[in-house]
């Protein structure tokens, strides 16, 4: 499996997509250049995605800046923080517990956050979501934006669902199952398709929809 590492990899995937599905040609033209948005795999990258769940980008950035200011975001660093320090970050109780469980799993070698990026998506997502607090969206975005996995489509992402509805003039925003079925056509470059539809949504709605990475 060839991982996405460069802008050329994105362009290769996009060329494939518009060739197999001509409906994507005007969508690609409207979306403009697709972002790479790739960060290093590891504890910090997954932690940032966890922090970003269900909060605005501004809030996620503010929380992350406070975490980073307290020291390197590593498993050992997280577990060494005093409770009052962690409380000052602005995280929910659930996210604090998720990050603590993640730190322990990494330190015990129960979870290799670099090796998992080279696994098949079903296997990788199953391993990641086995950890309490990590759902499919978090696992899929990690594989895409930290692991560079080429064939992941976060079908539960509301912006992607809205983008599919707008692009294909659907009567309503598709649910995760329908969105995943639509995206199945675009294997083995579904991660590039996701970038395409995030960018299309961003252009259409006037705001950046691509998940952030640290």
Does residue 214 register a pLDDT over 90? no
Query: What is the average pLDDT across 146-154?
Result: 95
Report the C-alpha gap between 41 and 147 in whole angstroms.
6
Same domain as 126, residue 103: yes
Q: Which element (helix H / strand E) includes 83? A: helix 83-87
Same domain as 170, residue 127: no
**Tens-digit pLDDT profile for residues 161-176:** 999 999 999 999 999 9
- Please report which confidence band the pLDDT of residue 41 belongs to, taking 50, 70 and 90 as the band edges: very high
State the pLDDT at residue 213.
55
CATH number (domain holding residue 80): 1.10.340.30
Range(s) of the domain holding residue 103? 43-135
**Tens-digit pLDDT profile for residues 173-207:** 999 999 999 999 999 999 999 999 999 998 876 66
Whole-model pTM: value is 0.92
Same domain as 89, residue 23: no
Same domain as 161, residue 87: no
Same domain as 61, residue 77: yes
Same domain as 81, residue 68: yes
Does residue 212 register a pLDDT over 90? no
- Is residue 97 a contact partner of residue 50, using CB atoms and an 8 Å limit? no
Q: Which residue, 69, 13, 17, 68, is CA-closest to 43?
A: 68
- Please report which confidence band the pLDDT of residue 150 belongs to, taking 50, 70 and 90 as the band edges: very high
Residue 111 lies in a domain: yes
Report the C-alpha gap between 167 and 113 in whole angstroms.
34
In the chain, the number of structural domains is: 2
- Is residue 196 a contact partner of residue 27, using CB atoms and an 8 Å limit? yes
CA-angle at 71, arms to 66 and 72, nearest 5°: 110
Residue 82 lies in a domain: yes
């Amino acid at each position: 499996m060839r991982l996405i590492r460069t802008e050329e990899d994105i362009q290769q995937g996009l060329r494939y997509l518009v060739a197999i599905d001509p409906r994507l040609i005007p969508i690609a033209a409207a979306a403009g250049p697709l972002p790479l948005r790739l960060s290093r795999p590891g504890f910090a990258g997954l932690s940032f995605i966890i922090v970003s769940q269900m909060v605005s980008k501004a809030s996620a950035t503010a929380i992350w800046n406070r975490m980073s200011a307290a020291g390197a975001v590593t498993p050992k660093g997280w577990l060494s923080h005093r409770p009052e320090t962690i409380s000052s970050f602005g995280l929910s109780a659930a996210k604090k517990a998720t990050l603590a469980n993640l730190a322990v799993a990494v330190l015990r070698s129960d979870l290799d956050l670099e090796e998992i990026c080279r696994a098949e998506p079903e296997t990788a997502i199953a391993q990641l979501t086995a950890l309490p607090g990590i759902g499919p969206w978090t696992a899929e975005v990690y594989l895409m934006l930290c692991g560079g996995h080429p064939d992941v489509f976060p079908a539960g992402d509301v912006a992607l669902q809205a983008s599919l509805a707008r692009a294909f003039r659907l009567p309503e925003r598709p649910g995760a199952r329908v969105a995943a079925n639509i995206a199945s056509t675009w294997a083995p470059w579904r991660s590039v398709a996701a970038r395409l539809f995030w960018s299309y949504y961003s252009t259409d709605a006037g705001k950046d929809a691509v998940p952030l990475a640290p």
